[in-house]
Amino acid sequence: MFRWYQHNHITEQSTPNRRPASLIFAAPPSGYIKGTRPSDIHYQSQYTEEVDMFEQLVEKPTISVSRKHASAQRIGDSLVYTHAKRLLDISITLIALLFLLPVMIVIGILIMLDSPGSALFIQKRVGCKRKVENGEVKWEIVTFPMFKFRSMKQNADQSLHQAHIKAYAEGRLAGSSSDNAQFKLQEDPRITRLGKFLRKTSLDELPQLLNIVRGEMSLVGPRPVPEYEVAYYESHHFERLEALPGMTGLWQVQGRGRVTFEEMMDMDIEYVRTRNLWLDLKLLLATVPAALHGEGAK
C-alpha cells in the first residue's frame, strides 16, 4: 500500500477528513545545500497528513509534484534541456535498434527455448511527465508498462522480490553496508539459466529501448521502480521522481547492485538536481564498460 505524506501549515481541526487532489513539495535550490546528502535533508511542518496513495492512484491516475522555488534553478527542468535530451534519446535509440534488433530477436528465441513462456516480461513501473501550468514546472507521477527480456520462469511469484525490497529499504539485509546490500536477490530460484547471463550483461534491459521511443523513459535517469517500492519512500525520496526514469544512471554506473537503499536514493536525487546533457553523455559512456565487464545485477 502506498503511503504519501503531505506537509503543510494548517491545523487538523481546519481540515477534517480532507485529502488533497495534488501534492506540492517545495525545496530550496540545490545551490543552498551544496555538499549535503539528500538523505540528510528533513522536511518539517506543523501538521502532517497521511494520504493513502493507492486510493489516490485509483481515483486520480496522476499526482502533481512541483518544486515552486527550485524549478527555475535546475537545468533539467528547462524546456531547452527537455527537447535536447529527447532528441538525443531518439537519435541514439533508433541507431541502436538498427544494430541491436537482430540480436534482440535471437535473444527472444533463446528465452523461449530455454523455458516455457513469452520472451518479454512486462511490469508496471512508476515514472513521470513534465507539465507547465501558469509558468510553473510540474512533474506528474504516472505508471507505465516497462519492457524487459524475461529472465525468470513464466508467472514467477513476485512476493519474494517484494519482501526483499522491504528488507532492503529498511536496511535489514545482511550487513546493510554498501559492501553487503544487494538490490537484486543473489540466489533467486526464479531466475532461468539464460536469465542469469542476461542479467549479468544487462542484456535483459534492451527492450526498454521501446519505452524510450514511446517517451516513457530516457537513456539516462533514475531507476524505474515498481509500485510496491514507493511504499517505503520517505518524503525527501520523492524528488527522484522528478525526472524521466532511465536505462542507466548514476547508481547503475557507480554502485550497480552493491549500494544501500539510501545510497541509491542519494545518487538518483543528485542526478535529478544536477542533470545536464554533458552529464548524460558521460554516464552513457561510463555504462558501456560497466556492462561489458559484467557489473550488472547478478
Q: pLDDT (tens digit, 9 = 90+) per residue, 280-296? A: 999 999 888 777 665 54
Q: How large a percentage of the chain has pLDDT more than 70?
A: 65
Q: pLDDT (tens digit, 9 = 90+) per residue, 237-270? A: 999 999 999 999 988 787 666 778 888 899 999 9
Answer yes or no: is 152 within a domain: yes
Structural domain span for residue 79: 3-11+56-292
Answer yes or no: is 189 within a domain: yes
Close Cβ partners of 268 (under 8 Å, ≥ 6 residues apart): 222, 223, 240, 249, 250, 251
- The whole-model pTM stands at 0.72
pLDDT confidence of residue 251: 80
Distance CA 245, CA 247 (A): 7
Contact status, residue 37 vs residue 266, Cβ threshold 8 Å: yes
Tell me the CA distances in angstroms from 177 to 83, 188, 259, one per residue in order.
Answer: 39, 21, 8
Q: pLDDT (tens digit, 9 = 90+) per residue, 192-202? A: 999 999 988 88
Answer yes or no: is 200 within a domain: yes
What's at 220, amino acid-wise? V
Answer yes or no: is 35 within a domain: no
Answer yes or no: is 19 within a domain: no
- Number of domains the chain contains: 1
Distance CA 282, CA 284 (A): 5
Answer yes or no: is 49 within a domain: no
Answer yes or no: is 278 within a domain: yes
> Cell numbers of 64, please?
502533481
> Cell numbers of 253, please?
554506473
Answer yes or no: is 41 within a domain: no
Whether the per-residue pLDDT at 42 is higher than 80: the answer is no
End-to-end CA distance of the chain: 28
**Residue-by-residue DSSP string for 220-232:** ESSPPEEHHHHTT
